[in-house]
Amino acid sequence: MRLPDRVALITGGGTGIGRAIAEIFAKEGARIAVTGRRKAVLEETVEAIRQAGGEGIAIQGDVSQIADAERMVRTTMERYGQLDILVNNAGVIVRNASVTSVAIEDWDRVLNINLRGVFLVSRFALQEMVKARRGSIINISSTSGLFGDFGFAPYNASKGGLNLLTKNMALDYARYGIRVNAICPSLVATPMPRTRLKPGEDFEQAVQEWGKNFPLGRVGRPEDVAYAALYLASDEASWVTGIELVLDGGITASHPPSSGTWPRLTEHSGSALDL
Ligand SMILES: NC(=O)c1ccc[n+]([C@@H]2O[C@H](COP(=O)([O-])OP(=O)(O)OC[C@H]3O[C@@H](n4cnc5c(N)ncnc54)[C@H](OP(=O)(O)O)[C@@H]3O)[C@@H](O)[C@H]2O)c1
């Protein structure tokens, strides 16, 4: 067990990367609270945790709403009496969104969830962690927080902001024994990249094609991110704070990235930049 006697709150824990983190943390001994807007998927995660012998609760809510963010932390504290790990994983994306083409409502929505949401949930969680003089916060950022993508204006801005918010929190709360780190994955096969599909395109087939652009020959799996989060959450990372841990199958090791079917280079040329 790498997370014995720990309690973890995982935002966006009903699907994709968040669900993998919830299930793997639970197997490693943590008691889990998952949050998100859709109750049904949260309950599926909790059921999977229970089936595997773990303990979990679902807290429905929207990270961008102050009252919901406060309630996520309060409910976790009421249920378990402690909060040791916060994974800020909830996030959304809009594509074909340059500064001139993005709807202002979409800009606000992405920034409100991906950046303000992290700020809000962290604000309430940190109040508990400061009292306990320990904690680990893991922000699921993106390689889109490190490099620009065509047509990703709000997503790039939100994840770039998240990377520096991570460093700020690492500095401000190190004195309380709280570590704050970011994970920056490239393309991971979850519901999120389904929005990349062209009409009629099969997801599994597209994942195979996209994978050819990665030096390691495949896109990421939710578990790849979950095991990195497990390391950062555990005592094994007790000297690690303020980092951006890049998980990308090697794609950012080359500059420029390999060409071909990599969607970043092909998908957005044209419409995103239409004025
Ligand atoms: N997949 C990738 O290629 C990739 C790459 C790099 C980084 N990431 C990041 O990884 C994180 C997880 O994404 P994913 O790939 O696992 O996609 P996903 O399956 O779409 O997960 C996103 C989760 O966030 C939740 N969420 C969205 N808005 C929310 C809100 N306002 N309040 C609470 N929960 C909210 C969603 O649940 P509800 O809709 O029910 O609220 C969903 O469970 C995101 O931050 C994403 O930016 C993904």
Distance 38 CA to ligand 1 centre (A): 12
Cα separation of 25 and 12, whole Å?
14
Contacts from 250-259 at CB under 8 Å and sequence distance 24+? 250/214, 250/215, 250/216, 251/143, 251/186, 251/213, 251/214, 251/215, 252/143, 252/146, 252/147, 252/186, 253/215, 254/215, 257/213, 258/213, 258/215, 259/213
Concatenate the DSSP letters of all residues of 173-225 into one string.
Answer: HGGGTEEEEEEEE--BSSSGGGGGPPTT--HHHHHHHHHTTSTTSS-B-HHHH
92, part of any domain: yes
Q: Which residues line ligand 1 (CB under 6 A)?
A: 11-12, 14-18, 35-38, 41, 62-64, 89-92, 113, 117, 140, 142, 185, 187-188, 190-193
269, part of any domain: yes
Distance 30 CA to ligand 1 centre (A): 21
- Per-residue pLDDT, 2: 98
44, part of any domain: yes
14, part of any domain: yes
Residue nearest to atom 17 of ligand 1 (CA): 192
How many C-beta neighbours within 10 Å does residue 28 have? 17
2, part of any domain: no
Tell me which residues are annotated as active site: 155
Distance 125 CA to ligand 1 centre (A): 19
Residue nearest to atom 23 of ligand 1 (CA): 12
Q: In this model, does residue 207 exceed pLDDT 90?
A: yes
List the CATH number of the domain containing 67: 3.40.50.720
222, part of any domain: yes
Atom number, ligand 1, closest to the C-alpha of residue 155: 47
CB contact at 8 A, 249 and 215: yes
Tally of domains in the chain = 1
Instruction: Report pLDDT digits (tens) over 158-198.
Output: 999 999 999 999 999 999 999 999 999 999 999 999 888 88
Distance 261 CA to ligand 1 centre (A): 24
Q: In this model, does residue 264 exceed pLDDT 70?
A: no
- Per-residue pLDDT, 198: 84
Ranking 44-53, 128-137, 170-179, 211-220 by mean pLDDT, the lowest is 211-220
> Residues 214, 118, 38, 102: is their CA dihedral positive or negative?
negative
Q: In this model, does residue 215 exceed pLDDT 60?
A: yes
Domain span holding position 180: 7-273
Atom number, ligand 1, closest to the C-alpha of residue 68: 32
pTM score of the predicted model: 0.95
Ligand 1 pocket: which of 19, 21, 37, 152 to mutate (most atoms within 8 A of CB):
37
1, part of any domain: no
Instruction: Report pLDDT digits (tens) over 86-129.
Output: 999 999 999 889 999 999 999 999 999 999 999 999 999 999 99
Helix or strand (DSSP H, E) at 159? helix 153-173
182 vs 262, more confident: 182
Structure tokens at 211: 């994978």
Q: Is 86 helix (H, G, I), strand (E, B) or coil?
A: strand
- Per-residue pLDDT, 266: 43
